Structure formats: C-alpha cells, structure tokens
Amino acid sequence: MTSILVVAEHRLGQIRDITYEMLTKGREIAEKLNTEQIAVILGRNIKEKAKRLSEYAEKVLVFEDEKLENFNSDAYQKVLMNFLREEKPILTMIGHTSYGVELAPRLAASLNIPLATDCIDIFFEGENLTVIRQMYGGKVNVRATLKKGSGYMVTVRQAAFTAKKPLQPINGEIIEKRSPLAEEITLKRFIEYVLPAAGGVDITAAEKIVAIGRGVKDQANIPVIEEFANLLGAALACTRPVVDKGWLPSERQVGSSGKIVKPKLYIALGISGAFQHIVGMKNSDLTIAINKDPNAPIFGYSDYGIVDDLFKVVPALKKKIVELKGQKTV
Amino acid sequence: MLDIIVCVKHVPLTSEAELKIEANGRKIEKTGLVFDINEWDDYAVEEAVRIKEKLGGTVTVITVGDEDSDNTLRKCLARGADKAIRLTDPKFEGSDGYAVAKILYNVVKNLRYDLILTGFQAGDDGYSMVGPILAEMLQVPHATLVKKIELDAGTARVNRELEGGLEEVVEVRLPALFAVQTGINVPRYVSRMGIRKALQKEIKVMNLAEIGLKEEEVGEAGSWLKIEKLYVPPLEKQVKFLKGGPEEVAAQIVEILKSKGML
C-alpha cells in the first residue's frame, strides 16, 4: 500500500482542529499521488466521531478500547506500531501538538521511519519527501528532504494548513479494528486534567490589545506599558517568556499554549514573533509592531512596523494621545 | 538519592539578533552571535539541581557539540551539576535530532540514572525529538512539555502542558525521561565567580570512536533530515514601515488609529 495516513486527535470528546487541517493537506497529497487517504482514530466510544472524518478519507479505522479513553503515548504507540507495520503507508501525519510531540518521535524511532517534525509544508517530488519547517524561532525557513525509508512520518504545525471539506465528501468506509492492547499500560498512566485557573481578565474578549514580549526587558518597565494600554482602552497581554519570568499571569499569554485572540487592534511591543505567539494573534484586524530588530518575524504579520526602541516610541505616543484627548474634552 | 542526567545544548541566541544566511544557503552565519545554554535546557538543569538539593544524589550534564560548548557545561557545573561530559567529533557535524539521540544513547546507556531531563526543544533547530527518541532507545518511559515534577518512591507525577492553558497529570515509573517546558521553575542566577570556580571541575570529552559509533551512523549520513536550503520566510502581510524619529512615528500611529476609529 502507498496510502496517506492521518492520526486523528481528540480530547474531552472533541476532535481537534489539527485533524481536519491534516486531512485537508493529506487529501491534496493523496490525489496528487493517486492513492487513498486513511484516517485512524483511537479512543473509547468514538465511533460516532469517525463519521466526519470519513468525509475526507477513503477509510476510517477505529480502535476502541477503554485503555484508550484518554491520550497516552505509550498505549498509542503500541497500537500504531502494529498497525503501521501492516498498513505501510507512504506518509503518516501526526499533529505537532502536545499529543503529537509525545508520540511521533518515539513511534518513528521504533519503526525506523524517517520523521520530520513541526512541518509547515509537505510535498512529494517523485518518491522523495520534501518538507518546509522553521528554525531559530521562525526567523528562518528550511527546505529539507527526508532520508529514503520504507515510509515517512511528519508532525504538522497547528494552523499551517486551512481545513476545507472536500467539495464531494468521500464518505469512506468506517472499519472497526480490534485493539491489540492486552494488558494495562502501567509505565505511564493518565491521571487527570488540570483546568486553567479562572482568571480576572479575559484577553480574548478585548477589542484592543497591547502585548509585550522579551523586549520589555524588566518587570519594572511594565507599569509604563500598562498606563499606555489603559490610555488606549486596551487589555495588556504578553508572550510566553514574560509569563515564564513571572512578570504577568498566564491568563495574559497569547499563543499556542495560551489564548488565541482576534482583536481589532494588536500593538506588539518588543515581541520578536516566535511562531507559538504568531498562532495566537495573526488574525487580528490591525497589527502594529515596534521592535529594534528589522528582521523580527513579527513584522511579517504586521500592517505597520516601527524599527526603534519601544521605550522611546511608547512615551512619545502616550504624550500624543494625552494631547489629543485633552483637545477632545475642551 | 537520585542520579540525574541532563542533556543540554550550546546554541546561538537569536531572538534579538539579525541573522544572515551563509552563501551556501545551508547554515546561518555564526560569527558575531552570542552563544549560551539552550533556554529549555536551562530550566531542565535548574530542575535537576533542585531535585538533588531536596533528595540527594548526583547531576551529570551531557552535550553533543564543539569545544565552545564548555561554556554551557561550566554554567551547569556552577549551578550545581557534579559532572560534565562533552561528545565532540567533526563527524557529528550536520546531525539532526535522530543522530544526536543515537550519540547520546551510546554514552547514557553505560551510565547510572534514575531520571533523565532534557529541554522540550532547542531554540535553534526546534526538532523536539531528541528526548523521546533517547527514551525509546533506552526503553524507559517519557513525558514531554513537563511543567511540574513530583517524585515519590519509584514513580513521578508530572504535569504536561496541553493547549489553551490546559494541563494533564500523568504518573510515570522511574527510571524515566522528562522533556521540560520553560516556566517549570525560575532558574537561579549564576555568577561569573561561580563559573570561574567551576573551571576546576573536569569535563570528560569523548569522540566518535570512544563512543563506539560508526561514521555513517552520525552527521548527515546518520540523520533522517537533510537540509537543502535556508531562506527568509515570506511575509504574510505587506508591512509598511513607519519612518522618522519617535515623535514623527508616534504622530503617524495616532493618525492611523484615528482613521480606524480607534482613538
């Protein structure tokens, strides 16, 4: 077989978006190679969910087992190792998500299948697989080829592809498979989910956001920015490093491990634009970025860019806005 | 008492640096860049030292890299690591995460360990694969994106960071490998004095032959991925750069905000 195989991802009863993003890209590749796409889903009481996957795939294979109720890379690896050895897909796609990064490298190593992680594009040139991925926090793109193997595996970056249902649903066959898990998985056990603490500020509801990154340099500089945000009527948000340093609470974090925001105005101050952050803000209506580095990736996602020291521009901007507001009240 | 191994990497700090691609298109120009311990590894070393301080044991740091990596190893020793191993050979050049995992495996398999910590990813190539592959080779369980580690007799309870602020708790039997996410702790400051003192500690250096690998198992030949070309990512939005001093730029921003009804 030379099928394209997509490992579906779900959590708390929901199929995750990355699944449809991969199925959309996989469909395109399968059609080019004139082969079929297979979706595989592992879980408990998930057969109903398989129907939507069948719109994209010729076959949907369902492994039902109570041991698969919550994601466990150890259990997934055991099931998928067996199955991939039988099926021998030419390409296996897994999300570059908290689940995929836990599963894919180990699965690839155990099967001795070349793996490229965090891909933003994937294409075959003859029988060779070429991928595009990023280095240096998104500052550089890399075109790379995979070593020839009995198949290939990739993990796919979230939101790298836009999910789109096929015009003609494939309505592929749904096939129930026997779970090969005989014994309990004991080396690694899922215990529970920990929900984020209910925060005081919901940045996803804000129309305007002023966000800060590493370039803010010191916690002592934050009040100045906060005043500026207040003046604009904007919520203050930030990147991951600011939360890691303990300067702002995690409820303020924009990005793949934080919040996804779509405000009318996003002002990025001292944010270089690592992809984990970009994912969280790239759909803002108007983005203005201030950064000292003219090559900061954030500029590639901004409408207006200012290459300067934010601590020079922000005070000037504050002054101008205060003046303007003064005029208005007169 | 726990013996802990931490895998670290010496990487260029690029978040605020201007990067240039070499003429051959396959690497960035490294001259002028400042190198330091990979950010994720910094948290991993700190976590290891904290565990040692609480429960006793040893911390060994290990890296695959050139002589300059000693700077990162010294920093780890200054922070409280006991031993350092550097795996260095010109043949390692061009290794991807898979090849690096093989190199580490061939040394780590001969060491005593209860726990192996790595950073979740490296800030340069961002593969996020060395830890889990090393765990597969060693046949020990693993967890990635780890934000909290609680140790009990023979097991660890760890919090993994999922998407959107959600976490999951998993219980893992030791020995195990954990790939640590940033923010798991606040790494302590390491003084220059501390690093100077660490100069007295020995760094063990091993090459390809001493590790017991063949040339074709490492470097580009032993890797899954072959880099063809580096290039500057295309812009998603056509950015308009505002020119002038802070006052002029501020005036332009105000006009833009006014025109969009934001002020």
Tokens of A325: 């507001």
Cβ pair B64, B87 in contact under 8 A: yes
How many residues appear in chain A?
330
Q: Does A164 touch chain B (CB under 8 A)?
A: no
Q: Which two tokens stand for residue B51?
A: 């565990």
Give residues 120 to 159 of A whose Cβ lies within 8 Å of B: 130, 133-147, 149, 158
Q: How far off is chain B from A159, nearest CA to CA, in Å?
A: 13
Tokens 């008492």 sit at which residue?
Answer: B1
Domains, chain B: 2-217 (3.40.50.620)
Q: Which residue of B27, B224, B242, B262 is the best one to mutate when testing the A interface, meaning the one whose CB has the most A CBs within 10 A?
A: B224
Q: Which residues of A touch B229 (CB under 8 A)?
A: 142-143
Residue A312: CB atoms within 10 Å: 16
Distance from CA of A52 to the nearest CA of B (A): 23
Query: Per residue in B181-194, pLDDT tens?
Result: 999 999 998 888 88
Parallel, antiparallel, or unpaired: how do β-strands B167-173 and A188-194 relate?
antiparallel
Does the ipTM exceed 0.85?
yes
The distance from CA A44 to its chain's CA centroid, rounded to whole angstroms, is 25
What is the b/e burial string over B20-56, where b = at least 16 CB atoms within 10 angstroms of the residue's CB?
eeeeeeeebeeeeeebebbbbbbbbbbbbbbbbeeee
| Phi–psi pair at A62, nearest 5 degrees | -115, 120
CB atoms within 10 A of CB A157: 25
A37 CB near a chain B CB, below 8 Å?
no
Confidence of residue A302 (pLDDT cuts 50, 70, 90): very high
Task: Report the SS3 class of residue A78.
Answer: helix
Contact A4, A33 (CB under 8 A): yes
Q: Quote the distance between the C-alpha of residue B66 and its chain's center.
A: 15
Q: Which of B253, B254, B255, B260 to mutate to test the interface with A (most CBs of A within 10 A)?
A: B253
Local confidence pLDDT in tens for the 263 residues of chain B: 999 999 999 999 988 788 999 999 999 999 999 999 999 999 999 999 999 999 999 999 999 999 999 999 999 999 999 999 999 999 999 999 999 999 999 999 999 999 999 999 999 999 999 999 999 999 999 999 999 999 998 999 999 999 888 999 999 999 999 999 999 999 998 888 888 888 889 999 999 999 999 999 999 999 999 999 999 998 888 999 999 999 999 999 999 999 998 88
SS3 sequence of chain B: CEEEEEEECEEECCCCCCCCECCCCCCECCCCCCEEECHHHHHHHHHHHHHHHHHCEEEEEEEECCHHHHHHHHHHHHHCCCEEEEECCHHHCCCCHHHHHHHHHHHHCCCCCCEEEEECCCCCCCCCCHHHHHHHHHCCCEEEEEEEEEEECCEEEEEEECHHHCEEEEEEECCEEEEECCCCCCCCCCCHHHHHHHCCCCEEEECHHHHCCCHHHCCCCCCCEEEEEEECCCCCCCCEECCCCHHHHHHHHHHHHHHCCCC
Residue A276's pLDDT is what? 87
Q: Please, are residues A323 and B263 in contact by the beta-carbon 8 Å criterion?
A: no
Domains of chain A: 4-177 (3.40.50.620), 203-329 (3.40.50.1220)
Contact assessment for residue B168 and residue A192, using Cβ atoms and an 8 Å cutoff? yes
Q: Please state, in angstroms and rounded to a whole number, the distance separating the CA atoms of residues B176 and A147.
A: 29
Give contacts of B241 with chain A, Cβ < 8 Å.
299, 304-307
**C-beta atoms surrounding A252 within 10 Å:** 22
**Enclosing H/E stretch for A93:** strand A91-95
DSSP A198: P
What type of residue sits at position B124? D
- Residue A79, both tokens: 């099931």
φ/ψ of A77, rounded to 5, equals -65, -40
Nearest CA in chain A to B28: A140
What digits encode the pLDDT tens for the residues B68-108?
A: 999 999 999 999 999 999 999 999 999 999 999 999 999 99
Report how far residue B156's alpha carbon sits from residue B48's, in angstroms, rounded to the nearest whole number: 13
Distance of CA A114 to the CA centre of its chain: 22
d(Cα A54, Cα A329) in Å, to the nearest integer? 61
